[in-house]
Amino acid sequence: MSFFSKAADPDKWKEKYLNLLDEHEQSGESYKEKEDLLCKTIVRLTIATTGLDPLLDPHLLSIRDQLKGGINSHALKDELEKFTNSVAQLKHTPTQSRSEETELLFDFLLQQYTTEKQQSILKLLKKKAETVKFETSDQLFITILEAIEPDDDTPAPTIIANHIDTGIISRQLLLLLEGIEIPSVFDQQAQTAKQLLTASNHTAAAFESILDKSFKLLLKIKQHSQSEQKDIDQFLSHITEQLAALDVSVMGASTAAQKSAENRNRLDQSVSEQMEELQLSSTNATTLEPLKGIINSRLANIAKEIREHGQKEAIQRQKTQQQLDDLVDKIKDMESESCELKSKLKIANTRALRDTLTGLPNRNAYNERLETELARWKRYHSPLSLIIWDIDHFKNINDSYGHKAGDKVLLLIAKQLSDHSRATDFISRFGGEEFTMLLPNTDSKSALILANQLRQTIEKTGFNASGASVAITISCGITEFTLNDTDESAFERADQALYQAKQQGRNRCCIL
């Protein structure tokens, strides 16, 4: 009975009861959520299967109605049993639409498999299916799969390629190649890949080959970047080891200095003690001869200690000097390696921010500069405008005169934009045939005047391809950053303005 005699026991049992009650309520709520989810699932399944067979539709409708009474409804259980029986009967009862479905199946297969051999086999199978009833659909499908063998002469991706928009894939790969840093060793391969991706009317096999080459190039670039990163990691590890060695050397020099100071202190103390003893001996001495002996002995001890101290100091100085020489050599090595790494990083950074073809800043550089200009615009509230340029009919130039001609056009446009813009304007190749310009301290009206001057200059520039004179024009969209603008919202607005310029006949500039 002592168990129930404690004052805390009633409270403990009350707490346990309340906890059990909470758990029961939570369990009930969880069960209710699961029941609701199950009801929704059943309703969606009945909706999805309605119309598959007239025999099942009345039961499906009744099941949806019964679910309104909850999942524990007895009527719902009876209806589910009737539905199950109907499904079992349906399995052994051929439907009237079976022949129509078979005909649709063969029509589809005849459209997809187009070789003479495949067409002949499918037509024979279709006649057989009309006269000989297969016991199950699975048997029919297995017969079709066994009869139709892939031809060795027919490339596997043909059917799939007919349903793939190769243009979208090509554009995405182009954007990827434009957006990453391409090491100089891969410049030629990258240009070739870009030219192939911008071409049109690829066969399935050709497009598969282009994709394969593009992916292999991206893999090589990744491996090259990983190799460079490994070199940098090794260099940093080496620097860390050298810093640790420097730390040891500095600690050694500090210890040597401390030890030298301790030796000097001991010498001073010893000499002071010897001098005190001499003074005491001379004061207490009554005769001269014993005093002379004491003085000579003390002086000899002092001289010995001074010599020993000098020798120790010389050894320590030599050791310290060697440590300092080693320290200087290590610092020089680190400075040399640091300069080398700084040079490599500068080159890598330049490559990462430059377009390999035109030499203009690329999209990464544009993003960096835009961040700086936006911060200045928000701080000083001076106008800032954005221009997006796009070469008119650039794809036609590539298709008609080749990709080398297209590259020359890009170089020409880049040069004209650079030569005829202001020093404060920032020009970049955004990707493909698109260029961007950031114009600080410039409103949209002033930007339009400058843009039209550039457009007219480019229009007058002559260009020859394969001995023929080719007209080169360019269109642009202009916008001015306004309150609450972001880089995305302003770019989208300028892009819409560019679209308007294209729709209005090209070779023009529009503001939005």
Catalytic residues: 433
Strand residue runs (E) in 55-163: none
Tokens of 129: 């299916």
Q: Helix 187-198 and helix 204-284: axis angle, to 10°?
A: 150
What's the rounded Cα separation, in Å, for the pair 432 and 175? 8
> What Cα–Cα distance (Å) separates residue 7 from each residue in 1, 15, 16, 17, 159?
13, 14, 16, 17, 82
Contact 339, 239 (CB under 8 A): no
**Residue recorded with tokens 């843009």:** 451
Q: Helix 9-49 and helix 57-66: axis angle, to 10°?
A: 150
Q: Residue 151 gets which letter from DSSP? A: P
What's the rounded Cα separation, in Å, for the pair 64 and 69? 10
**Residue recorded with tokens 């005190």:** 276
- For 271, residues 6+ apart whose C-beta sits below 8 A from its C-beta are 302, 305, 306
